[in-house]
Amino acid sequence: MTDSLPLSWTYTVSVRSLCEFTAKRGDLDRRFTPSATALEGQAGQMAVLARRSPGYETELPLQGQHGQLRVRGRADGYEADVNRLEEIKTIRGPVDAIPDNRRALHWAQLQTYGALIAADRGLAELALALVYVDADTQNETVLRETATAAALQAAFEARCRAFEAWARQEAEHRNARDAALSELPFPLGEFRPGQRLLAQAVYRAAA
């Protein structure tokens, strides 16, 4: 049995999962003002998009590679005329009440998308806007920063390194598990009546 991985192994992760793993900090107390529902989130995002210029790009598919890690996701919006990337979050309650760890997660997502779009479009720097939309009034509170592509790429690589260490360990564990299972003999000397047919049916359904 071996737990070594092939040189070609890859691990695909979403931007959200990458950032939740590497950027979210704090204790287990997640109390906050009531969260917006999925429908409210969609309504908030649509309200923001209706106020943007006609050339505003939405739901941009982006991906990047770092070592064996493939990162994928969709950025909420990009306005090429002003070189601004936006991450839109619908919330309830005041922005100041958002816990620091949750806001750090939101910034990490936006910065990761920033690294991906900067690499994809050859941008030297990028304006980032974290847009909080009130679920009731649909008013916007916008937090802004400007970042260089180099700084965004460095942060992206640091997050990928942290996640890749875990992903490799997880992949090695699964590889070892699969190898061990493949070597296990059938526990009985022979199939019981009907057992082979059942096993074949399960295999076909799962394959």
**Length of the chain counted residue by residue:** 207
Where helices occur in the chain by DSSP H, the ranges are: 15-22, 38-50, 100-121, 149-183, 195-206
Q: Reduced to 3 states, what is the DSSP secondary structure of residue 103?
A: helix
Domains of the chain: 11-168 (3.90.320.10)
Q: In which element (H, E) is residue 36 found?
A: none
Output phi, psi for 25, to 5 deg: -130, 165
Site of tokens 């816990």: 99
**Local confidence pLDDT in tens for the 207 residues of the chain:** 344 555 567 889 999 999 999 876 655 455 555 578 889 888 998 999 999 999 999 999 999 999 889 999 999 999 999 999 999 999 998 999 898 889 999 999 999 999 999 999 999 999 999 999 999 999 999 999 999 999 999 999 999 999 988 887 877 777 778 777 777 776 766 777 888 888 889 988 886
167 near 175, Cβ under 8 Å? no
Distance CA 129, CA 160 (A): 23
Alpha-carbon distance values, 107 to 8, 114, 181 (Å): 32, 10, 42
Q: In which element (H, E) is residue 28 found?
A: none
The b/e string for 49-87 (b: 16+ C-beta within 10 A; e otherwise) is eeeeeeebebebebebebebbebebebbbbbeeebbbbb
* pLDDT (0 to 100) of residue 48: 92
* pLDDT (0 to 100) of residue 10: 83
Cα three-residue angle 145-138-79, rounded to 5 degrees: 40
CB atoms within 10 A of CB 178: 12
* pLDDT (0 to 100) of residue 149: 98
Q: Which amino acid is at 130?
A: L
Q: In which element (H, E) is residue 160 found?
A: helix 149-183
Report which DSSP code applies to 191.
Answer: P
Q: Reduced to 3 states, what is the DSSP secondary structure of residue 11?
A: strand
* pLDDT (0 to 100) of residue 194: 85
